Amino acid sequence: MDALLQNPETKPLWNYFIELCKIPHGSKKEASAANWVADQGRAMGLTVVQDEVGNVVIRKPATPGYENQPGYILQAHVDMVCEKNEDTVHDFEKDPIKLQIKGDHLYAVGTTLGADNGIGVCAGLAVLASKDIKHPQIELLVTIDEEMGLNGANFFKGGVLTGKYFLNLDSEEEGFLTIGCAGGIDTEAKKKVSLTAPAPGAKGFRLRVSGLKGGHSGMNINDSRGNAIKILARTLYALQAGTQIGIASLKGGNKRNAIAREASAVLAVSDEVKAKSIVETVQTETKQAIGNFDPGLQITLAPENLPERVISDDDARSIVNTLFTMVHGVVAMSPDIPGLVQTSTNLGVLETQGDIVSFYMLHRSSIDSSKMTVVDRVTAHCALGGFQAAHIGGYPGWKPEPDSDLVKIVTGVYKDAFGSEMQVVAMHAGLECGIIGEKYPGMQMVSIGPDMWDVHTPEEHVSIPSVANFWKFVKAILARA
């Protein structure tokens, strides 16, 4: 990765990122990476505080002349979403992320990159390590387990931070200043099923949906991308209507906050010719429907060992009907901010364990009552199919404050540094600002970041020149204070 280190300005940031990529840091498995962050602060001779769940705060005193300026908190999360292509051999709990450069963009090899939010973490560390950046007192807050429900922020206590201005480094588009975001809540739905022997003469097959882009369930939910679980359900519905099948197991998606890219079902099929004809028809119709939004879709039916047991017909139909008709995607657009999703839901994970079929969803909204209306709607829908729904991990939205001093400072710095106006926006994806802000009343907050795309998928990539601009911007904000 020598090419990343050729620019002396950004070399410190990229050095940290390359090191972070060597440490497994998937959500709920990021303890080693969090400890590594703390160790960097101690090696710099700075004050380090690490709480009982693993969140890290590192304090650096103000440079001369900035002692009386309001302090800044730089904040990022150290965990990453772990997604890989089916043919990629990678153990996220052991293997380092392999990096590759394509043009001006940095990718991983067959996996998520972790630029979300490793770039933010490493920018914060580079600020702390710098000897020539002018700044007021800085507190770097690095949280854990953001991607699985903002749990690090939820457990982070009030009274720890002392700064006035909070600079979240977890946005994904250069030139945009985020000042608000949606809240969210998870649903876990489970159904106990009856199992029986497959029909006499049936053959085993695996129905597979693949080739989809997937994506972030907040940032990409309005991009009309295919959801593999929904497409699998549509295909199973057509098969149940047109021929005799038994469903042995179901699997789809990996994360509740990622749009499912792949899904599959192990089946006992009585009429192979008819089943394959139905699958081909559904593939043709679905590809026509989603078109260039997701052109790589493939639906296949391939031989598999005949399962010993399948789900009873009544239970199988109720499961497929529930999944096929379950709400997914944009529920409502904002009436106040053009182009902003106000309320959405994502059917993210489907799995079978023995005689239990489960699925997991994430609902988001900038209006709390709308979020809870979706929760009620999903609960009622689950009940119709015999699923028991539980709702966990709710977190608040972040109310925009467009006239705050920090918004004026940051937009002014951007105009001076780059000669153009920032776009001040709210976003549909969840950020930790709302949770932390509740614990620190009066703290002013904004979020910035470099250009990155396809986060939460193996196609995740970040613009190397944009990271340079992001680094320049962070330094200029601190110096302006």
Name the pLDDT band for 180 (thresholds 50, 70, 90): very high
- CA 455, CA 462: separation in Å to the nearest integer? 9
Nearest to 429 by CA among 455, 404, 407: 455
Summarised one tens digit per residue, pLDDT across range 414-435 is 999 999 999 999 989 889 999 9
Summarised one tens digit per residue, pLDDT across range 35-46 is 999 999 999 999
Name the pLDDT band for 11 (thresholds 50, 70, 90): very high
Topology at the third CATH level for domain 2-181+397-480: Aminopeptidase (3.40.630)
DSSP for 15-65 reads HHHHHHTTS--BTT--HHHHHHHHHHHHHTT-EEEE-TT--EEEEEPPPTT
Question: 220: cis peptide before it, omega within 30°?
Answer: no
In this prediction, residue 399 carries a pLDDT of: 86
Residue 207: Cβ within 10 Å count: 24
For residue 131, give both structure tokens. 């000897």
Delimit the domains of the chain by residue range: 2-181+397-480, 185-395
Give mean pLDDT, residues 149-175.
Answer: 96
Lowest mean pLDDT among 10-14, 148-152, 234-238: 148-152
In this prediction, residue 311 carries a pLDDT of: 98
- CA 412, CA 406: separation in Å to the nearest integer? 10
- CA 408, CA 169: separation in Å to the nearest integer? 17
Summarised one tens digit per residue, pLDDT across range 195-207 is 999 999 999 999 9
- The CATH number of the structural domain formed by 185-395 is 3.30.70.360
The residues annotated with a catalytic role in the active site are: 79, 146
In this prediction, residue 446 carries a pLDDT of: 98
pTM above 0.85, yes or no: no
Q: Are 395 and 364 in contact (CB under 8 A)?
A: no
Give mean pLDDT, residues 460-473.
Answer: 98
Length reported for the chain: 481
Name the pLDDT band for 385 (thresholds 50, 70, 90): very high
Summarised one tens digit per residue, pLDDT across range 239-296 is 999 999 999 999 999 889 999 999 999 999 999 999 999 999 999 999 999 999 999 9
Give mean pLDDT, residues 293-303.
Answer: 97
In this prediction, residue 393 carries a pLDDT of: 81
3-state SS string over 305-360?
A: CCCCCEECHHHHHHHHHHHHHCCCEEEEECCCCCCCEEEEEEEEEEEEECCEEEEE
- Which of the two residues, 280 and 398, has the higher pLDDT score? 280
In this prediction, residue 481 carries a pLDDT of: 67
- Which helix or strand (DSSP H or E) is residue 39 part of? helix 31-43
For residue 90, give both structure tokens. 């990678």
Residue 321: Cβ within 10 Å count: 17
Between CA 156 and CA 163, with CA 161 as vertex, the angle to 5 degrees is 140
Name the pLDDT band for 324 (thresholds 50, 70, 90): very high
- CA 399, CA 229: separation in Å to the nearest integer? 33
Q: What is the dihedral of CA 293, 295, 301, 305, to 10 degrees?
A: -80
Average pLDDT, the chain: 96
Residue 157 has pLDDT above 80, yes or no: yes
Summarised one tens digit per residue, pLDDT across range 74-88 is 999 999 999 998 889
